Amino acid sequence: MPRENAEESIKAPYERTIHHVVAPEEEGERLDTVVASVVPGLTRSQVKRMADGGWISVDERRGRAGGRLRPGQRLEIHLPPPVQARAVPEAIPLTILHEDSHLLVVDKPAGMVVHPGAGVASGTLVNALLHHCGDLSGIGGVLRPGIVHRLDKNTSGLLVVAKNDETHRALQAQFMNRQVAKTYVAVVFGVPGSETGSMSMPIGRHPVDRKRMSTRSPGGRTAVTHWRVIRRFFHFSILEVDLITGRTHQVRVHLQGTGHPVVGDRVYGGRHRSQELSNPLLRSRIRGFGRQALHAHRLGFIHPITSRDMSFTSPLPPDMQELVSVLEEHDAP
């Protein structure tokens, strides 16, 4: 999640400017890294294009994406005006928990990418939403209309989507100010020694493998995760995980850091641990689980227009229910 010292203002019709003062812990970090953290939904490649186009200034001078920052410097991030969404509508079934004229809450299945991107042009949540709604907020860009936050392709669960720009801006502000409640359920290797715990290790891009995140990155950003055990087995546990911040891959990276990687997570150590299992049937079933056993279970926010408290819950999807049944049968203590 972005820092609390980021402020937002509207400078012109459909143009938004975010002001951010570089914090002491951000000293030496690259401009693109900080801006991508301050503004939900922006990638570093997008930030570079914005910087090259003169949309970002540092102390009233044109910013460079790779420029290193000093505490106290003032950033002005001028977000380009919204553009019409151009992703192609597709008739893909959706599970919708709530819909009104301003937003909708969907239950994304595992295996579905949230928005088109490199190598993925169709079959995404955005393609399905455009077919269902006809139009969405353009703030996310031509390939990410309405998308305020994301889930990894192989993480299932709840997402809120904005239908118009006013709602999009207000929801983004709630994410920036850490007012959105996000709770996940994860099946992990091992049994924690306590009932609850927290991780506050910074998360940043892995220094060698740029597709991964790491708690050992020199440019890591503050990340806070709380967890509690909701069920114990002999070799596994089911955890309920609350995100205070919202870094990329945060749950997966932090649980790996506790020594309890998510079952099925091929990137963050949740696959090779199955080799330690002596029961061949259990080992085979765990190795055969086709994705990280992670589900966005609860989502809570304030409706930007009605000011109502909104709270939604999604049950475990069938594949995770089956995984729990396997543990009940073969790994009960």
- β-pairing, 156-162 vs 294-302, is parallel
Which CA distances in Å does 177 have to 152, 171, 245, 247?
22, 10, 10, 14
Tell me how far apart the alpha carbons of residues 50 and 52 are, in angstroms, rounded to a whole number: 5
Same domain, 315 and 221: yes
Other Cβ atoms within 10 Å of 193 Cβ, number: 7
pLDDT of residue 13: 38
Q: How many domains does the chain have?
A: 3
Encoded tokens for 274: 């199955």
Same domain, 127 and 173: yes
Options 152, 165, 209, 319, the catalytic residue: 152
Q: Which domain holds residue 45?
A: 6-79
Same domain, 66 and 170: no
> Residue 87 domain-assigned?
no
Collect all residues with Cβ–Cβ distance below 8 Å to 122 and sequence separation of at least 6. 88, 90, 116
Domain boundary residue among 177, 206, 222?
177
Burial of 78 (0-12, 13-18, 19+ CB in 10 A): middle
Q: Name the 3-class secondary structure at 301.
A: strand
Same domain, 144 and 232: no
Going along the chain, which residue ranges are E strands?
6-12, 15-21, 56-58, 61-62, 74-79, 96-99, 103-108, 156-162, 181-189, 196-199, 204-205, 213-214, 225-232, 236-243, 294-302, 309-313
pLDDT of residue 292: 96
Same domain, 274 and 188: yes
pLDDT of residue 120: 77
Encoded tokens for 119: 């190598």
Percent of residues in the chain assigned helix, strand, coil, to nearest 5: 25, 30, 50
> Residue 297 domain-assigned?
yes
- What pTM was estimated for this model as a whole? 0.74
Domain boundary residue among 141, 159, 177?
177
> Residue 48 domain-assigned?
yes
Encoded tokens for 136: 């969405």
DSSP 143-173: SSTTBSS---TT-EEEEEEESSHHHHHHHHH
Decide if 152 is catalytic.
yes
Domain boundary residue among 177, 203, 220?
177
Which CA distances in Å does 67 have to 57, 255, 284?
11, 32, 49
Tell me how far apart the alpha carbons of residues 320 and 324 are, in angstroms, rounded to a whole number: 6
Same domain, 268 and 127: no
Please name every residue paired with 56 in a beta bridge, in sequence order, or none if there are none.
77
pLDDT of residue 12: 43
pLDDT of residue 88: 84
Encoded tokens for 154: 């192989």
Check: CB of residue 126 under 8 Å from CB of residue 114.
yes
Tell me how far apart the alpha carbons of residues 82 and 10 are, in angstroms, rounded to a whole number: 13
Q: What is the pLDDT along the chain (333 residues), one digit of tens a residue?
A: 344 455 555 444 335 788 999 999 889 999 998 998 888 767 777 888 888 888 899 999 999 999 999 999 999 998 876 555 477 889 999 999 999 999 999 999 999 999 887 667 789 999 999 889 877 777 666 566 788 999 999 999 999 999 988 999 899 899 988 999 999 999 999 999 999 999 999 988 887 776 788 888 877 888 999 999 999 999 999 999 999 988 889 999 999 999 999 999 999 986 678 888 889 999 999 999 999 999 999 999 999 999 999 999 999 999 999 999 999 999 998
Find the CATH number of the domain harbouring 167.
3.30.2350.10
